Amino acid sequence: MNLEDMTLSFISEHMPFFFEYWPFIITGIVCLLAAVVLFKTALETPGDECLPPEQDMFDELNELDEMDEDESEKNQEDESVVPALPVDLKHIPFEFSRMSHEESVKKSKEFLDMMSKRRTVRFFSTDPVPVEILKNIIMTAGTSPSGAHTEPWTYVLVSNPEIKQKIRDIVENEERINYERRMGDVWVTDLKPLKTDWEKEYLTTAPYLILVFKQLYSFKENGMKKMHYYNEMSVAIAAGILLTAIHYAGLVSLTSTPLNCGPAIRVLLERPQNEKLTLLLPVGYPADDATVPDLSRKPIEEILVEI
Ligand SMILES: Cc1cc2nc3c(=O)[nH]c(=O)nc-3n(C[C@H](O)[C@H](O)[C@H](O)COP(=O)(O)O)c2cc1C
């Protein structure tokens, strides 16, 4: 008996099941391996090259959140040794004068009426605006609350026509791609009633552009990194106060979140790497023939849940 016969007889004697069904068993193993390889490849393959912008933005935010968490962990030890605010920070009496309920009702109603007139304006006049007004507006935004009083914001005020043109070029280049390739039919269709497109003339006609940067972190006096907790939320609240202050000062603006333009604009404006562009607001007076979409606001029953 040769070696081959001996092997076969050994298998048939000791592994009768395998001997009878080996073609099926081998096929099964090969299929299983192929399925595992295919599954792993599918998980690792990046999706569509042109992700929808929401996805880009989502990824970007996730990335930052992750970064915040990592950085936060790294800084735990450092934070416990040297707090960002002085340990013996003085606490002072709070200045407050209580209004009557009638006065409060009146003021809240007046404020509601005033804020109801705030609109996003897309057509600007080139009329100049004293810079002092813009500084007061930005200081008002600076009164916003912030996580652990980190004040994680930088406002870049641009009036230089050449820089405005460069910003417009960056935004229009990206917006053209956004509208033509990235945004998809649903988004573009949703925007049609607002009559927005990739052309952003207001970026050069408005006398000012305010660029709101959020600071992911900063540095303490001892050079250690200072974490900016909830920087996203803090800057969003400050932006609301900024828009309110612009409106209260008799000016108009357009809230915009220039998609995919952040890094190029940050470099153009020479802002450091710990800052991320969140909003771009042209500010000024409306053009004489400016129009706005005829929008209505949800009634209180739809936005308030009283318990
Ligand atoms: C986060 C955010 C991003 C926005 N981005 C844009 C934008 O890129 N372009 C634009 O024309 N309007 C933009 N808007 C303005 C909205 O379209 C506008 O607020 C909305 O249509 C309601 O109009 P109103 O502000 O006049 O009440 C944005 C608003 C917000 C809050």
With bands split at pLDDT 50, 70 and 90, how would you rate the model's confidence at 243? very high
Inform me whether the pLDDT recorded for 110 exceeds 90. yes
Task: Give the C-alpha distances (Å, rounded to integers) separating 114 from 20, 28, 109, 118.
Answer: 87, 73, 9, 7
Instruction: Give residue-wise pLDDT tens across range 164-195.
Output: 999 999 999 999 998 888 888 888 888 888 87
Residue 194: the pLDDT is 84
Interval 212-230 mean pLDDT: 92
Cβ of 122 less than 6 Å from ligand 1: yes
Identity of residue 140: T
Number of Cα atoms under 13 Å in the Cβ half of residue 236: 4
With bands split at pLDDT 50, 70 and 90, how would you rate the model's confidence at 66? very low
Q: How far apart are CA 220 and CA 203, in angstroms?
A: 36
Inform me whether the pLDDT recorded for 269 exceeds 70. yes
What are residue 212's phi and psi, to 5 degrees? -95, 120
Burial 34-65 (b: 16+ CB within 10 A, else e): eeeeeeeeeeeeeeeeeebbeeeeeeeeeeee
Residue 155: the pLDDT is 98
Sheet containing 252-253: which strands, arranged edge to edge? 153-158, 208-215, 275-284, 252-253
Domains parsed from the chain with CATH numbers: 120-291 (3.40.109.10)
pLDDT, averaged across the chain:
86
Instruction: Give residue-wise pLDDT tens across range 226-236.
Output: 999 899 999 99
Q: How far apart are CA 19 and CA 7, in angstroms?
A: 11
Residue 40: the pLDDT is 64
> For a substitution probing ligand 1, which of 167, 242, 255 has the most ligand atoms within 8 Å of its CB?
255
Interval 26-30 mean pLDDT: 81
Cβ of 75 less than 6 Å from ligand 1: no
Inform me whether the pLDDT recorded for 16 exceeds 90. no
Q: CA-CA-CA-CA torsion for 126, 130, 134, 137, nearest 10 degrees?
A: -120
Task: Report the nearest atom of ligand 1 relative to the CA of 292.
Answer: 26
Interval 244-265 mean pLDDT: 96
Q: How far apart are CA 112 and CA 228, in angstroms?
A: 32
Name the nearest CA neighbour of 236 among 139, 145, 124: 145
Task: Report the nearest atom of ligand 1 relative to the CA of 196.
Answer: 11
Residue 84: the pLDDT is 77
Q: How far apart are CA 249 and CA 156, in angstroms?
A: 19
Residue 3: the pLDDT is 65
Atom 6 of ligand 1, residue of closest alpha carbon: 256
Q: How far apart are CA 5 and CA 214, in angstroms?
A: 77
With bands split at pLDDT 50, 70 and 90, how would you rate the model's confidence at 49? very low
What are residue 270's phi and psi, to 5 degrees? 55, 40
Residue 8: the pLDDT is 66
With bands split at pLDDT 50, 70 and 90, how would you rate the model's confidence at 297? very high
Atom 31 of ligand 1, residue of closest alpha carbon: 255
CA of 80 to the centre of ligand 1 (A): 41
Task: Give the C-alpha distances (Å, rounded to integers) separating 52 from 27, 57, 181, 188, 194.
Answer: 41, 9, 9, 12, 20
Identity of residue 70: D
Chain mean position to CA 11? 65
Please tell me the least confidently modeled range out of 35-39, 162-166, 205-209, 272-276.
35-39
With bands split at pLDDT 50, 70 and 90, how would you rate the model's confidence at 97? very high
Please tell me the least confidently modeled range out of 5-9, 99-103, 260-264.
5-9
* Contact yes or no for 249/196 (Cβ under 8 A): no
Cβ of 291 less than 6 Å from ligand 1: no
- Tell me which of 122 and 76 has the higher pLDDT: 122
Task: Give the C-alpha distances (Å, rounded to integers) separating 130 from 93, 208, 223.
Answer: 36, 10, 37
Chain mean position to CA 243? 17
Chain mean position to CA 97? 37
Inform me whether the pLDDT recorded for 47 exceeds 50. no
CA angle 227, 230, 236 (to 5 degrees): 130
